[in-house]
Amino acid sequence: MLPHNNCLQVGQPAPSFTATAVYDQEFKLIRLSDYLGKYVVLFFYPLDFTFVCPTEITSFSDLYDQFAAINTEVLGVSVDSEYAHLAWLQTQRDDGGLGDLNYPLISDLTKNISQSYNVLTVEGTALRGLFIIDTKGIVQHLIVNNLDFGRNVSETLRTLKAIQYVQSHPDEVCPANWQPGDPTMLADPVKSKEYFKSI
């Protein structure tokens, strides 16, 4: 249950923010606007030093090079302070920590970012919200999980590739389960039949 009624939808500009993050063991000021011209995977998680969260956070780091290779930055956000982020990063994975990550973890101690993306719970933590933002700062995909189950990072990568494909091929659309190299269909009531005949 959310404390307010925010109407953020796909196709709308991603809410801007400036916040402190931890990256490469240092504090860094992050502005979403600095990433215009790149795709951004912005994901929220409930709290540092919890259980499901490190499995997601490290999975994004492990696949980071694949995101970076297609002009994409990954940003993680929680309502913890940058000091808590740093302590968690300095804890090794086999002790429930994160170790070094390939992308920044953002502190949303004021909870303003979580609220603007409509993932803030009444208890004051963030749901597992994930947003893919395109090069112009427009939200192209969003998904929100409840707290007890994690997201599929490989599916995020697949969805991102589909978004990039249709943006660079505006006459085509991607069917269910599309992977790069698979057939697409033309967004036309007659020409789309060619796809259905081929499957």
147 falls in which pLDDT band (50, 70, 90)? confident
| Burial of residue 162 (number of CB atoms within 10 Å: 0-12, 13-18, 19+) | buried
* CA dist., res. 132 & res. 72, Å (int): 9
Task: Calculate ∠ Cα 152-161-57, nearest 5°.
Answer: 35
Q: Please state whether the predicted TM-score (pTM) of the whole model is above 0.75.
A: yes
Domain residue spans in the chain?
A: 18-152
- Of 135, 111, 154, 103, nearest in space to 14 by CA: 135
The one-letter code for the residue type at 197 is K
Residues catalogued as catalytic:
53
Residues 6+ apart with CB under 8 A from 26: none
3-state secondary structure of 84: helix
How many Å from the N-terminal Cα to the C-terminal Cα in the chain?
42
- Would the pLDDT of 198 be above 50? yes
Domain 18-152 top-level CATH class: alpha beta
Scanning the structure block, which residue is given the tokens 């796909």? 10
The neighbour count for residue 132, using CB atoms within 10 Å, is 24
Phi, psi of 145 (to 5 degrees): -100, 155
Q: What tens digit of pLDDT does each residue of 63-111 get? A: 999 999 999 999 999 999 999 999 999 998 888 889 899 999 999 999 9
Residues 6+ apart with CB under 8 A from 40: 14, 32, 72, 73, 74, 75, 131, 132, 133
3-state secondary structure of 122: coil
Mean pLDDT of the region 110-115: 97
145 falls in which pLDDT band (50, 70, 90)? very high
